[in-house]
Amino acid sequence: MTPPPPGFAHYPLYFDTAQQSALIEAVRTGVKDAPFWRPSMPRTGTPMSVVLSNFGPLGWVTDKELGYRYEHTHPKTGSPWTPIPAVLMDLWDAVTDYPGPPEACLINWYRDGSKMGAHIDSDEQATDAPVVSISLGDPAMFRIGGPQRGGPTYGIKLFSGDVVVMAGQSRRCYHSVSKIFYGESAIVPKGGRINLTLRRVNLP
Protein backbone atom coordinates (compact mmCIF):
# COMPACT_ATOMS: atom_id res chain seq x y z
CA MET A 1 0.00 0.00 0.00
CA THR A 2 2.12 2.91 -1.33
CA PRO A 3 0.85 6.32 -0.21
CA PRO A 4 0.48 9.13 -2.77
CA PRO A 5 3.42 11.56 -2.98
CA PRO A 6 3.29 14.80 -0.91
CA GLY A 7 1.20 17.49 -2.58
CA PHE A 8 -1.33 15.08 -4.12
CA ALA A 9 -4.94 15.90 -3.21
CA HIS A 10 -8.15 14.19 -4.35
CA TYR A 11 -11.59 15.83 -4.16
CA PRO A 12 -14.14 13.10 -4.96
CA LEU A 13 -17.24 14.39 -6.80
CA TYR A 14 -16.15 18.05 -6.54
CA PHE A 15 -18.59 18.76 -9.40
CA ASP A 16 -22.16 17.43 -9.23
CA THR A 17 -23.93 15.91 -12.25
CA ALA A 18 -25.34 19.24 -13.47
CA GLN A 19 -21.92 20.91 -13.25
CA GLN A 20 -20.35 17.93 -15.07
CA SER A 21 -22.91 18.29 -17.88
CA ALA A 22 -22.19 22.02 -18.13
CA LEU A 23 -18.43 21.31 -18.41
CA ILE A 24 -19.04 18.66 -21.10
CA GLU A 25 -21.20 21.20 -22.97
CA ALA A 26 -18.37 23.77 -22.69
CA VAL A 27 -16.00 21.19 -24.20
CA ARG A 28 -18.51 20.46 -26.99
CA THR A 29 -18.71 24.19 -27.79
CA GLY A 30 -14.94 24.70 -27.57
CA VAL A 31 -14.11 21.85 -29.93
CA LYS A 32 -16.45 23.22 -32.61
CA ASP A 33 -13.78 25.89 -33.19
CA ALA A 34 -10.75 23.89 -32.01
CA PRO A 35 -11.51 20.29 -33.04
CA PHE A 36 -10.01 17.24 -31.33
CA TRP A 37 -6.99 15.94 -33.23
CA ARG A 38 -4.84 12.85 -32.78
CA PRO A 39 -1.32 13.89 -31.74
CA SER A 40 1.95 12.18 -32.70
CA MET A 41 4.92 11.46 -30.50
CA PRO A 42 8.16 13.35 -31.10
CA ARG A 43 10.78 11.70 -33.38
CA THR A 44 8.92 8.41 -34.02
CA GLY A 45 5.62 9.94 -35.10
CA THR A 46 3.71 7.17 -33.29
CA PRO A 47 0.14 8.36 -32.75
CA MET A 48 -1.09 8.75 -29.17
CA SER A 49 -4.29 6.88 -28.28
CA VAL A 50 -5.99 9.96 -26.83
CA VAL A 51 -7.27 12.83 -28.94
CA LEU A 52 -6.60 16.40 -27.77
CA SER A 53 -7.79 19.96 -27.78
CA ASN A 54 -7.19 22.91 -25.43
CA PHE A 55 -8.81 25.92 -23.84
CA GLY A 56 -6.76 28.99 -23.02
CA PRO A 57 -4.26 31.49 -24.29
CA LEU A 58 -1.86 28.53 -24.65
CA GLY A 59 -2.41 24.90 -25.61
CA TRP A 60 -0.23 21.81 -25.31
CA VAL A 61 0.60 20.24 -28.68
CA THR A 62 2.97 17.59 -30.04
CA ASP A 63 4.07 16.35 -33.45
CA LYS A 64 6.87 14.30 -34.97
CA GLU A 65 9.01 17.24 -36.09
CA LEU A 66 8.81 19.81 -33.28
CA GLY A 67 7.85 17.60 -30.31
CA TYR A 68 6.06 18.65 -27.12
CA ARG A 69 5.39 22.38 -26.63
CA TYR A 70 2.79 25.03 -25.92
CA GLU A 71 1.30 27.05 -28.78
CA HIS A 72 -1.17 29.94 -29.02
CA THR A 73 -3.00 28.33 -31.95
CA HIS A 74 -4.50 25.00 -33.05
CA PRO A 75 -2.02 22.88 -35.07
CA LYS A 76 -4.55 22.04 -37.80
CA THR A 77 -6.72 25.16 -38.10
CA GLY A 78 -4.26 27.87 -37.00
CA SER A 79 -7.01 29.47 -34.89
CA PRO A 80 -6.58 30.54 -31.26
CA TRP A 81 -7.91 28.20 -28.58
CA THR A 82 -11.26 28.88 -26.86
CA PRO A 83 -10.89 30.76 -23.52
CA ILE A 84 -10.79 28.69 -20.30
CA PRO A 85 -14.38 28.52 -18.91
CA ALA A 86 -14.97 30.76 -15.86
CA VAL A 87 -15.92 27.79 -13.66
CA LEU A 88 -12.42 26.35 -14.22
CA MET A 89 -10.69 29.67 -13.48
CA ASP A 90 -12.66 29.70 -10.21
CA LEU A 91 -11.65 26.09 -9.49
CA TRP A 92 -7.95 27.03 -9.82
CA ASP A 93 -8.41 29.82 -7.27
CA ALA A 94 -10.32 27.50 -4.94
CA VAL A 95 -7.84 24.60 -4.87
CA THR A 96 -4.42 26.25 -5.42
CA ASP A 97 -2.62 29.19 -3.87
CA TYR A 98 -0.60 29.89 -7.02
CA PRO A 99 0.06 33.63 -7.62
CA GLY A 100 -1.32 33.73 -11.16
CA PRO A 101 -4.06 32.22 -13.34
CA PRO A 102 -3.71 29.02 -15.38
CA GLU A 103 -2.63 29.64 -19.00
CA ALA A 104 -3.61 26.32 -20.59
CA CYS A 105 -6.32 23.71 -20.15
CA LEU A 106 -5.46 20.52 -22.00
CA ILE A 107 -8.49 18.44 -23.01
CA ASN A 108 -7.74 14.69 -23.27
CA TRP A 109 -10.52 12.51 -24.68
CA TYR A 110 -10.06 8.80 -23.99
CA ARG A 111 -12.17 6.54 -26.18
CA ASP A 112 -12.38 2.74 -26.01
CA GLY A 113 -8.89 1.32 -25.44
CA SER A 114 -7.18 4.71 -24.92
CA LYS A 115 -4.49 4.89 -22.23
CA MET A 116 -1.61 7.14 -21.27
CA GLY A 117 1.80 5.68 -20.48
CA ALA A 118 3.99 6.78 -17.57
CA HIS A 119 5.49 10.24 -18.03
CA ILE A 120 6.41 13.45 -16.20
CA ASP A 121 4.92 16.76 -17.37
CA SER A 122 7.97 18.95 -17.95
CA ASP A 123 7.08 21.28 -20.82
CA GLU A 124 6.13 24.13 -18.47
CA GLN A 125 8.58 26.79 -17.29
CA ALA A 126 6.49 27.12 -14.14
CA THR A 127 7.69 23.73 -12.87
CA ASP A 128 6.50 24.49 -9.33
CA ALA A 129 2.96 25.44 -10.31
CA PRO A 130 0.31 22.84 -9.46
CA VAL A 131 -1.61 20.94 -12.12
CA VAL A 132 -5.37 20.60 -11.52
CA SER A 133 -7.23 17.71 -13.18
CA ILE A 134 -10.98 17.30 -13.70
CA SER A 135 -12.37 13.88 -14.70
CA LEU A 136 -15.59 13.60 -16.76
CA GLY A 137 -17.36 10.48 -18.06
CA ASP A 138 -16.04 6.94 -17.76
CA PRO A 139 -13.88 6.17 -14.71
CA ALA A 140 -10.13 5.69 -15.07
CA MET A 141 -7.38 3.97 -13.13
CA PHE A 142 -4.80 6.67 -12.39
CA ARG A 143 -1.35 5.68 -11.08
CA ILE A 144 1.33 7.92 -9.64
CA GLY A 145 4.84 6.83 -8.63
CA GLY A 146 7.99 8.73 -7.71
CA PRO A 147 10.49 10.95 -9.51
CA GLN A 148 12.18 7.89 -11.04
CA ARG A 149 10.63 5.50 -13.56
CA GLY A 150 9.66 2.07 -12.21
CA GLY A 151 9.20 1.70 -8.46
CA PRO A 152 5.96 1.39 -6.54
CA THR A 153 2.88 3.37 -7.55
CA TYR A 154 -0.22 4.60 -5.79
CA GLY A 155 -3.38 3.78 -7.73
CA ILE A 156 -6.77 5.44 -7.56
CA LYS A 157 -9.96 5.03 -9.59
CA LEU A 158 -11.10 8.48 -10.72
CA PHE A 159 -14.81 9.07 -11.35
CA SER A 160 -16.75 11.72 -13.25
CA GLY A 161 -16.72 14.97 -11.29
CA ASP A 162 -13.52 14.18 -9.37
CA VAL A 163 -10.81 16.82 -9.07
CA VAL A 164 -7.15 15.98 -8.43
CA VAL A 165 -4.49 18.54 -7.53
CA MET A 166 -0.81 17.77 -8.06
CA ALA A 167 1.26 20.30 -6.14
CA GLY A 168 4.67 20.10 -4.45
CA GLN A 169 6.60 16.87 -5.00
CA SER A 170 3.70 15.09 -6.72
CA ARG A 171 4.00 17.57 -9.62
CA ARG A 172 7.34 16.07 -10.61
CA CYS A 173 6.34 12.39 -10.32
CA TYR A 174 5.74 9.77 -13.00
CA HIS A 175 2.04 9.13 -13.58
CA SER A 176 -0.13 7.18 -16.00
CA VAL A 177 -3.69 6.24 -16.91
CA SER A 178 -3.58 2.44 -17.02
CA LYS A 179 -7.25 1.66 -17.75
CA ILE A 180 -10.50 3.29 -18.81
CA PHE A 181 -13.67 1.62 -17.53
CA TYR A 182 -15.28 2.15 -20.90
CA GLY A 183 -19.09 2.41 -20.86
CA GLU A 184 -19.48 2.71 -17.05
CA SER A 185 -20.75 6.31 -17.41
CA ALA A 186 -23.23 7.70 -19.94
CA ILE A 187 -22.64 11.41 -19.30
CA VAL A 188 -20.32 12.03 -22.29
CA PRO A 189 -22.60 11.96 -25.37
CA LYS A 190 -20.12 10.13 -27.62
CA GLY A 191 -18.80 7.99 -24.75
CA GLY A 192 -15.42 7.65 -23.10
CA ARG A 193 -13.58 9.86 -20.62
CA ILE A 194 -12.66 13.52 -20.86
CA ASN A 195 -9.84 14.79 -18.65
CA LEU A 196 -9.20 18.50 -18.29
CA THR A 197 -5.85 19.68 -16.86
CA LEU A 198 -5.31 23.30 -15.83
CA ARG A 199 -1.68 24.34 -16.20
CA ARG A 200 0.51 27.35 -15.58
CA VAL A 201 3.11 27.48 -18.37
CA ASN A 202 5.16 30.68 -17.87
CA LEU A 203 6.55 32.02 -14.62
CA PRO A 204 4.33 34.74 -13.17
Considering the rule CB under 6 A, would residue 63 count as an interface residue with ligand MD3?
Answer: no
CA atoms within 13 A on the CB side of 37: 16
What letter would DSSP give residue 183? T
Q: How far apart are CB 99 and ligand MD3 at their closest, in Å?
A: 19
- What H or E segment, with its residue span, contains residue 94? helix 86-95
Q: Which does 177 bind (CB under 5 to 8 A by kind): Fe ion, ligand MD3, none?
A: ligand MD3
Residues binding Fe ion: number (CB under 5 A) = 1
Considering the rule CB under 5 A, would residue 123 count as an interface residue with Fe ion?
Answer: no
Looking at the DSSP bridge assignments, the partners of residue 40 are: 47
Contact range with Fe ion by CB under 5 A, out of 45-53, 106-114, 116-124, 158-166: 116-124
Considering the rule CB under 5 A, would residue 121 count as an interface residue with Fe ion?
Answer: yes
CB nearer to ligand MD3: give 71 or 121: 121
Our separate counts of H helices and E strands in the chain read 2, 12
User: Which has the closest alpha carbon to 123: 58, 65, 168, 74?
Assistant: 58
Q: Which does 173 bind (CB under 5 to 8 A by kind): Fe ion, ligand MD3, none?
A: ligand MD3
Looking at the DSSP bridge assignments, the partners of residue 155 are: 143
